[in-house]
Amino acid sequence: EMQLVESGGGLVQPGGFLKLSCAASGFTFTGCWMNWVRQAPGKGLEWVASIEEDGSANFLVDSVKGRFTVTRDNAQKSIYLHLYSLRADDTAVYYCAKNSGQSDRYSPFDHWGRGTLVSVSS
C-alpha cells in the first residue's frame, strides 16, 4: 500500500524555522516527482514545491522563494521542506503528494499524506 506520512509541524514564532519531513513507502520512490502542497485555514489548496526524482531540479512557488527549500533523500525514501523566516500567512496544513507519472512532473497527484499543521504566531 502506498503511504506518505508527514511530520515536523508545530507552533513557531514569526521569523522562525521548521523542517517538515515526508516518509514514503509502498511505491518506487526514485521514479517519482514529489510535491508539497498547503492549505491555509478556510482557503483552497496551494502548491508550494516540487522536486525531481534525483533531486537535481526543484521548483518553488514565488511566495516562498528565498525562504523555503525542498530536498530529498532517496536512500531514506523521504522528502523535506525547510521553512525559514516563517510568516503568519505560512500557517497551513502542509501535505506531501506524489505525481502519478513515472518520471513525469506533468501528471496529477495520485497519493497524498494526511498533512502536518504549521502554525506561525507570537
Partner 1 sequence: DIVMTQSPDSLSVSVGDRATISCKSSQSLYKSNKKNYLAWYQLKSGQPPKLLVSWASVRESGVPDRFSGSGSRTEFTLTITNLQAEDVAVYSCQQYYEIPYTFGQGTKLEI
Pairing of strands 116-120, 3-7: unpaired
Residue with cell string 516562498: 64
Taking the least distance from each CB to partner 1, the nearer of 14 and 66 is: 66
The CA–CA distances, whole Å, from 101 to 9, 32, 118 equal 28, 7, 29
Q: Is 61 in the site for partner 1 (CB under 8 A)?
A: yes
44/122 with CB nearer partner 1: 44
Is residue 62 within the footprint of partner 1 (CB under 8 A)?
yes
Q: Which of 22, 29, 34, 35 is in the footprint of partner 1 by CB under 8 A?
A: 35
| Contact (CB, 8 A) for 6 and 98 | no
Q: Which is nearer to partner 1, 89 or 110 (CB)?
A: 110
Q: Is 73 in the site for partner 1 (CB under 8 A)?
A: no
Would you count residue 95 as binding partner 1 (CB under 8 A)?
yes
Residues near partner 1 (CB under 8 A) are 4, 35, 37, 39, 43-47, 50, 59, 61-62, 95, 97, 99-100, 105-115
